[in-house]
Structure 1
Amino acid sequence: PAGWAWVRLDHVCDVSGGIQKQGKRRPVKNKFPFLRVANVGRGSLALGDVHQVELFEGELDRFRLQVGDLLVVEGNGSPDQIGRAAMWRGAIKDAVHQNHLIKVRPTSAIDPQFLELLWNSPNISAQLMRVAQSSSGLYTLSTSKLNRVEFALPPLAEQQRIVEALEEQLSRLDAAAASAAQALRRVGRLKTASLASELVGVSQRARLKDVLASPLINGRSVKTMEGGFPVLRLTAIKEGITDLGEFKAGAWSAEDARPFVVTKGDFLIARGNGSLKLVGKGGLVGEVRSPVAFPDTMIRVRPDVGAVLPQYLSLVWGSPEVRKQIESRARTTAGIYKVNQRMLEAIEFPLPSIERQQEIVDRQESNESALKVARTACRNALRRGDSLKRALLRKAFEGGVVPQDSFDTSAADLLVRVVAERAAQPKAKRTRRTTAKKAAVPRAATPADPAPQPTP
């Protein structure tokens, strides 16, 4: 649109890393609030559990968060969570952030609320997913990759009009989504209550390691290779079942894969996830029509069917009692929660007789057919709401939600001002971490401009 300009992030923001938590950072004398990946959601901050960190001379001035700063998550095990971000609104005094969060500080050319909405839109998410690298299942970004993100920048006054219009529409969509999510939680609580009622009076308990037909084993990490032996993806584990259709072709032979091929009745557990609620989730393997192996991101449980029915294990593994044990044992590294064999072997659960287990399984499967209908309706509503939200954001950042005003100061003029402001600032001392480089003023956008294609 007229008055807009294509820009890179480093044209209008200063991008920098955070503080690595080391032994010397144990809070003792000069301790300050320390935001982590777990505190940052998509457009929101969870500040109920904020850690502390020790700072040294001069570091507070360097790392202190300012109102309007955008905190971007550097890495995640889930591609759709890459680069999720939230604006800092000054809720805690003198807060700093860890190195797995990237700080984006807007200049006078971009409204902080506009930046937050833009960053969490499909326009930016698609770019981030293209440039994020995957290492051992962890997708990562960097300050240099963020600096190269491109987008169309409207005049400042139009940015503020877009924010106002979006907040009104998004509040309605959020209210509808909250209602659908609440209904979905009720369905989940019905299932939980039904299973809990079945287990009332069951006094016998067992640890997972007591009901194994063979020891737990981790899968194997294999690269993708066309025509190779199939290996499951982590996304194959879904609500107590394993979807054997979720696989890739791996760079290994059938003989190499043989120790990791799944069979009916196996129970696969997710070793790690960026969400604490998903780590340790399990999925039962049903009929195996075509051989497929499991990857290093899963742990295989092969239950002793004389002690525990695989279907019963799948049911009880998703119970609040078991989830509480898993989440309390999980450990986090670089924003990824993980469990290991030793942790899982110690998980305890109620273990009635085989006959009673079968009765419980039969009743729960009968209930599940009705619950599935309600669950599907709720999820369809959530998907429709998400699609509407994404469409609204996409339209807004292409200039289609509010009218342009020829009296607004153009984005190109704002960028000239930013260059002058940066030139007038005292030269910063050199540090090991590079910050945003000074960039030339970009050209003005025209209706014929193609969509930006970030450099990988």
Structure 2
Amino acid sequence: MFERLGEKTNWPIRSLGDGLEINKDSWIEIDNLTEYNILGVTSRGVGIAIKRMVRGFELTMRRYQVASNNQLMWCKVDTKNGAFGVTKDNHLGSLASSNMCLADINTKIFNPKFLEFLFRLPLVYEELTNASLGTTNRQYLKPQELLDNVKFHVPPIDEQRRMVARIEELAAKIEEAQDLRRQAAEEAEALFAAATRFIFNFKLSSMATIEEIVGKKNLKNGLSIRTIGDDSQIKCLRLSGLRDGKIDCSDSKPIPITDIEAKPYLIKDYDVFIVRGNGSKSLVGRAGMVVGAIPGTIFPDLFIRVPLDKNQILPEFFVAWWNSQKMRDLIEETAKTTSGIWKINQGHIASFSIPILPLTEQRRIVAHLDGLQAHVDGLKRCQARTAEELDALLPAVLERAFRGELGSRAAGSILTIL
């Protein structure tokens, strides 16, 4: 298994077992009053983390392994997903359950970081999946079998250190590029928010409350009906269908309801809804407009419909104003939380105000914001493509390294990409 790694080098083939030994002597009995850190390992070689801190009486298993520094740790029932990592100083004394395996690393044979990078290779997940036993998703590979059967061309320890240093150097550059990409995306969003604040920071000669415009009694909550899981003529929008001021009508679920029962809640193009409840304070009170209504779709209980007169308030203008930072500050100040859910109600919405402007002025503002949003969306698409390219770079670096091809020429081509 993995013999093709480094096959063009003169490195000798060795098994993991040549430099790893399963630790069988680190088990302890749990004391109910002692506080313990419990370790977990993430798939795809992302590494080890302290999952939680608990008192002994909270643990169902009574025997755990105590981790040391520089041990290879993996989840025995999730080897196929590359759930491997190497323990660090901060994991010393933490506990690992019987689902985990801890193997001491002979640092004269394997550099711990070298092994950590090995288990981040996509090739490793593929091979381990093929070698794993079991018919369920939690496939099992016996620990000693893994140590005996994982064989590859292993460079001398000095070469491993050089490889690790070079990989870390390139990984740092990749991370720097990813940070710049994220920063650019955040700045684009901030630019749009700033532009919105500037546009809506005019002297408002005429304002009207939502109650004055549509009447509080005309604000309507949707229906809360559990999905049947099967196909149905009537579907209900999901909360996740509202994104960036638009409502995606394909994001819906089938519900058991008659056409007559559904009729008062059916949606149509340019309907405007406000989210009355969300687990995130930044999302409660967001407005969205229906684009591309699908017949037979109703709105859910967490949506409140605002029946606008389009001859007075354009739906696009309403959504732009409602989602502006000016309104967000007011909505988030008003929202209340119970059981972790942030909420606003019809009374809150009815009391909020919106500027009354000529339709020509509303159209001008909407067109300007649409132009800005198009630029931001274009930048986001570009950033998404860049993100995919950056995410693919580290696996490419690792693949070259373990093939013995991470010399100056190979590294130079990667640096050119960055």
Normalised to the residue count of structure 2, the TM-score between the two structures is 0.55
Question: Which whole-Å CA distance do the structure 2 matches of 1:160 and 1:348 have between them?
Answer: 62
In structure 1, which of residues 251, 265, 270 is the aligned counterpart of residue 256 of structure 2? 251
Per-residue Cα deviation, 1:73-95 (whole angstroms, up to 9, x for no partner)? xxxxxxxxxxxx97489xxxxx9
Out of 83, 89, 103, the residue aligned to residue 155 of structure 1 is 103
Contact 1:271 1:279 in 2 (8 A): yes
* Alignment partner, residue 238 of structure 2: 233
Distance 2:338 2:74 in 1: 26
AA paired with 2:211? K
Q: For 1:328 and 1:150, locate their aligned partners in 2 and report how far apart those are by CA, in whole Å.
A: 47
* Alignment map for 1:128-139 (pairs within 5 Å): none
Q: Aligned pair in 2 of structure 1 residues 188, 210: CA closer, same or farther (>3 Å)? A: farther
**1:14–1:107: 8 Å Cα contact kept in structure 2?**
no
Say yes or no: does 1:207 pair with 2:212.
Answer: no
Distance 1:326 1:306 in 2: 26
Distance, in Å, in 2 between the alignment partners of 1:149 and 1:272 is 42
Deviations 1:18-37 (A, max 9, x none): xxxxxxxxxxxxxxxxxxxx
Measure, in 2, the Cα distance between the counterparts of 1:247 and 1:202: 41
Query: How many percent identity over aligned positions?
Result: 22
2:410 corresponds to which residue? none
Say whether 1:276 aligns with 2:281. yes
Matched length = 298
**Corresponding residue number in structure 1 for 2:378:** 373
CA distance in 1 between partners of 2:80 and 2:305 (Å): 36
Work out the CA distance in 2 between the residues paired with 1:277 and 1:364. 21
**CA shift for structure 1 position 312:** 0.4
* Maintained 8 Å contact 1:184/1:379: no
Take 2:302 and 2:54, find their aligned partners in 1: how far apart are those partners?
32
- Which residue matches 2:191? 190
The offset of 1:227, in angstroms, is: 2.4
Partner of residue 221 from structure 2, selected from 217, 220, 237: 217
- Cα distance in 2 for partners of 1:115, 1:350 equals 61
Deviation of 1:235 after TM superposition, in Å, equals 1.6
> For each residue in 1:214-240, what CA deviation from the matched residue of structure 2 results, as whole angstroms up to 9, or x when unmatched?
223233233233221121122211101
CA-atom RMSD, angstroms? Answer: 5.0
> Would the alpha carbon gap of residues 148 and 164 (structure 1) be closer, same or farther in structure 2, given more than 3 Å must change?
closer
Question: What is the match of residue 314 of structure 2?
Answer: 309
Q: Deviations over 1:257-288 (max 9, x none)?
A: 22221122212233433433223322211242
Whole-Å Cα distance in 2 between the matches of residues 353 and 197 of structure 1?
19
Deviation at 1:321, TM superposition (A): 1.4
Amino acid at match of 1:176: A
- Shift of the 148–332 alpha-carbon distance from structure 1 to 2, 3 Å rule, reads farther
Gap change, CA 1:162 and 1:355, over 3 Å in 2: same
Q: Which amino acid aligns with 1:205?
A: M
1:28-39 matches, within 5 Å, as none
* Separation in 2, partners of 1:198, 1:287: 28
- Please say if residues 71 and 104 of structure 2, whose CA atoms lie closer than 8 Å, have aligned partners that are also in contact: no
Q: In 1, are the aligned partners of 2:219 and 2:304 still within 8 Å (CA)?
A: no
CA shift for structure 1 position 206: 3.6
Cα distance in 2 between the residues matched to 1:116 and 1:353? 65
Secondary structure of the residue aligned to 2:229 is: strand
After the TM superposition, which residues 65-76 of structure 1 pair with which residues of structure 2 at under 5 Å, given as runs? 68=37
Aligned to 1:356: 361
Deviation at 1:250, TM superposition (A): 1.7
SS in 2 for 1:155: strand
Gaps in structure 2 of 5+ consecutive residues: 1-14, 41-47, 56-62, 84-95, 121-166, 404-418
**Separation in 1 of the partners of 2:308 and 2:70?**
53
| Match of residue 272, structure 2, among 260, 267, 274 | 267
Equivalent position of 1:445 in the other structure? none
* Structure 1 segment 75-86 matched on structure 2, within 5 A: none
Aligned residues of 1:322 and 1:349 also touching (Cα < 8 A): no
- Alpha-carbon distance change, 186 to 211 in structure 1, aligned in 2, over 3 angstroms: farther
Aligned letter for 1:201? F
- Which amino acid is the alignment partner of residue 338 of structure 1? K
Q: Deviations over 1:267-322 (max 9, x none)?
A: 22334334332233222112424331122232322223344211001111221112
Deviation string for 1:405-446 (max 9, x for gaps)? Answer: xxxxxxxxxxxxxxxxxxxxxxxxxxxxxxxxxxxxxxxxxx
Distance (Å, rounded) in 2 between the aligned partners of 1:190 and 1:197: 10
Aligned-partner residue type, residue 240 of structure 2: T
Which sections of structure 1, spanning at least 5 residues, go unmatched? 16-57, 72-84, 90-94, 98-104, 126-146, 404-456
Q: Distance in 2 between matches of 1:106 and 1:326?
A: 49
CA contact (8 A) 1:232 1:247 kept: yes
How much does 1:346 deviate? 3.5
